[in-house]
Amino acid sequence: MIKRTLYFGNPAYLKTTNEQMVIEMQATGETKSVPIEDIGLIILDHQQITITQSLLAKLLGNNTAVITCDDKHHPAGMQLCLDGHTLQSQKFKAQIAATAPLKKQLWQQTVTAKITNQAAVLKEQRPENVPADHAGKYLINLAAAVKSGDTTNCEAKAAMYYWKHVFPAFLEFKRDRFGLPPNNLLNYGYSILRALVARSLVASGLLPTLGIFHRNQYNAYCLADDVMEPYRPYVDKLVCAIIRGNGKFLEMTPAMKRNLLSIPALDVIIDGQKSPMMNAVQRTTASLAKCFEGESRKMLYPFMD
Question: What are the tens digits of pLDDT across the range 233-244?
Answer: 999 999 999 999
What is the reported pLDDT for 183?
A: 96
- The predicted pLDDT at position 303 comes to 94
pLDDT given for residue 129 in this prediction: 67
Cα separation, 112 vs 142, in Å, equals 8
**What's the residue count for the chain?**
305
* 89 confidence band (pLDDT: 50, 70, 90): confident
CA atoms of 31 and 14, how far apart (whole Å): 10
CB atoms within 10 A of CB 196: 25
Distance separating alpha carbons of residues 81 and 59, to the nearest angstrom: 8
- The CA distances from residue 155 to 118, 139, 230, in Å, are 10, 10, 11
Q: What is the pLDDT of residues 251-287, one digit of tens each?
A: 999 999 999 999 999 999 999 999 999 999 999 999 9
pLDDT given at position 31: 96
What pLDDT is recorded for position 292? 96
CA 235/CA 136 separation, integer angstroms: 17
Residues in a beta bridge with 17: 20
What's the pLDDT at 87?
75
Question: What residue numbers does the annotated binding site cover?
Answer: 155, 214, 229
Q: Rounded to an integer, what distance in angstroms lies between the CA atom of residue 51 and that of residue 54?
A: 9
Provide CB contacts within 8 A for 260, sequence distance 6+. Answer: 185, 188, 189, 192, 235, 238
Query: Which residues are known binding-site members for Mn(2+)?
Result: 155, 214, 229
Mean of pLDDT over the chain: 92
Closest CA to 143 of 168, 123, 173: 123
Percentage of residues in the chain with pLDDT exceeding 90?
78
Q: How far is CA 289 from CA 93, 112, 245, 279, 298, in A?
A: 11, 19, 40, 16, 11
Half-sphere CA count of 98, side-chain side, radius 13 A: 28
pLDDT tens digit sequence for 128-155 = 767 766 778 899 999 999 999 999 999 9
| Per-residue model confidence (pLDDT) at position 113 | 98
Domains and CATH numbers, the chain: 4-79 (3.100.10.20), 88-292 (1.20.120.920)
pLDDT in tens, 182-233: 999 999 999 999 999 999 999 899 999 999 998 877 688 899 999 999 999 9
Say how far apart CA 268 and CA 55 lie, in whole Å.
32
Phi, psi of 25, deg, nearest 5: -85, 120
Residue 4, C-beta contacts closer than 8 angstroms, at least 6 positions apart: 34, 38, 39, 40, 41
Predicted confidence band at 85 (pLDDT cuts at 50, 70, 90)?
A: low
pLDDT of residue 83: 73
Name the amino acid, one letter, at 225.
D
